[in-house]
Structure 1
Amino acid sequence: MGLPQTEKINVFLGKGLTSMTFGSTWLPNGAAIGLPRTVLFQNPEDVRNSFLESAGAPIDWDSELGTSLTAALTPSTQQINFVIAHEVAHLKNSDWMARVVLPPVTLVLAYHVARAVPQYVAPKHGLAGFVLVMAASLAVYLQLVASLSHRQEFRADKTAAQCSSGYAQGGLDHFAKRMKVDSALQLRKKASTLDRFKPSFDLHPPVQDRFDRLQTLMANS
């Protein structure tokens, strides 16, 4: 991918089931890529012996939920390659910079809006008008963050898939299995370690959208 100073990238296994990226290769302390523990699962037996649980209890791997998860959480080499390439693409694109700059810029804009608008709103609506302005500012901020995150994720997916047809197929397999995991999660009613797949506020694009875009990319290549 042409990423400089790759020797400054540290790789670690996270406690959750998703990958992540921190820092940059041109920063003094370098960058770090966190990979999901599923990269260690080489066969269904590894999944069965994993840390995963459902509703605070061991999973019955012979159940419908267990069977679905066993198949979905056993990655292929192509899948792992795609996940790593996706995170390296984030580093190459310096995506962290936009994520760092956006919050303070939005905060400053919200501050000025909160100072300017209330002189028109507050006289009539008082505290309610001020709260309305702040709520609107927060909504705009969240929309901007979500839009930025979606753009970055789609771009990283595309960059990773363009490494080779094998990587692209790995991406399709990764998202297809991810959707199977999401479907399996819907069978549960209580919390478990698998909830790391479904954060309460997820800025990533819908998995189906990412799958469809990769499929279109492969069809047009």
Structure 2
Amino acid sequence: MSYSILKFSFLLQKYRSPVMVVSCGGLLAANMFYHTFPGLSFRQLYQAWSRGKPISLSDQLQGLFQQVLEDYGVRSPAGYSCFASYGFHPVAAGAPWLPGGAHVGLPANFDSTAQDPGGITQRSVYVDGEAVAWDSEAGGALRDALVFSPAAQRFAVAREVARLDVGGPLVSAVVAPVSLGLVWVYSAALKQMLGLHGGPAPLRGAANLAALGLGALTHLLVSEAVSQWVEYGSDRRAAAVSPDYTRGGVEFYDKLLSHNRTLRALMGPKGEKVYAASGNIFPAHLLQLKHAPYTSRRDFLLSLLKNTA
């Protein structure tokens, strides 16, 4: 057994450059598969269904999507497509310059208005196994939080378009392969600094473990920074379309925070572990990558409004 481990370590050391290239390349390919072939993965996952058939997007939402593409001034509108998705907020994957194109899912509640909330109330939302009563106080608050003005809807779609237009998925996908490559760099640097290249195997193993820990820490910090950079950048580009889009963004995040506060109340103690009193989402664990808080994204848009006033 020990001979096999030593032989494997020797081969790994001898061919470390090809192994590193293949490992990083494979990890990048795995991360990008979701966005390279969104029609086979993402769209199948988020497509809304009814009675065994995929739901078609309404003419109103198709018009909304085309309006956003025109307002944003995308360079290749043919690279974008939209579909009816489940959930209550737009989702997106892919890139307009990849063969699979960019796919944006629009939820049914975007067809709803305060006068006609059918896209919301005709659906059942379950909290802890119980359906939310739309005519209750909490149900009414949740319904109101899911009704968006046309400006808020356009902003919500535009931020997804902006994220895909600048290659946000690719930027995020690169972080893990780079972090893996840095593990090899850290390992070589530590062994060089401590003179362990010809040292005992246990010490070299300890150096490798230390390099792995540094790589994991690098991944967490860089992923968080990149995630927030992409999110704030998408908000900024969507808001830059017009002041109306900026105001719509403020409304969108206000409604999102209200939605989360209502769920926090409905879920009781469980909700307090998931949602903060402000409406932000707590990370599931300390090692989970942190996204920009919704309150910060709303305040960021408010500052843009003040600067343009």
Gaps of 5+ in 2: 1-71
TM-score (norm 2): 0.62
* Pairing partner for 2:84 from 6, 9, 13: 13
Give the deviation of 1:24 after TM superposition.
Answer: 1.7
The one of the two structures with greater contact order (alpha-carbon pairs below 8 A, sep at least 6) is 1
Deviations 1:123-150 (A, max 9, x none): 8989777555433422221221111111
In the TM superposition, what are the counterparts of 1:1-221 in structure 2 within 5 Å? 1-42=72-113, 43-114=116-187, 116-117=189-190, 120=194, 131=209, 133-187=211-265, 188-189=267-268, 200=284, 201=288, 203-221=290-308
Gaps of 5+ in 1: none
Give the deviation of 1:180 after TM superposition.
Answer: 0.6
The letter for the 1-side match of 2:253 is F
Percent pairwise identity: 27
Deviations 1:41-73 (A, max 9, x none): 333343222232211221022334212201101
Q: Greater shift after overlay, 30-39 or 171-180?
A: 30-39
Distance change in 2, residues 1:133/1:80 (3 Å): same
Q: Deviation above 4 Å: which 4+ runs of structure 1?
A: 118-133
Distance change in 2, residues 1:67/1:30 (3 Å): same
Residue pair 2:153, 2:248 contacting (<8 A) in 1 also? yes
Residue pair 2:108, 2:120 contacting (<8 A) in 1 also? no
TM-score (norm 1): 0.84
- The CA distance in 2 between the partners of 1:131 and 1:34, in whole Å, is 42
- The CA distance in 1 between the partners of 2:245 and 2:257, in whole Å, is 18
Which entry has the higher C-alpha Rg, 1 or 2?
2
Residue pair 2:183, 2:214 contacting (<8 A) in 1 also? no
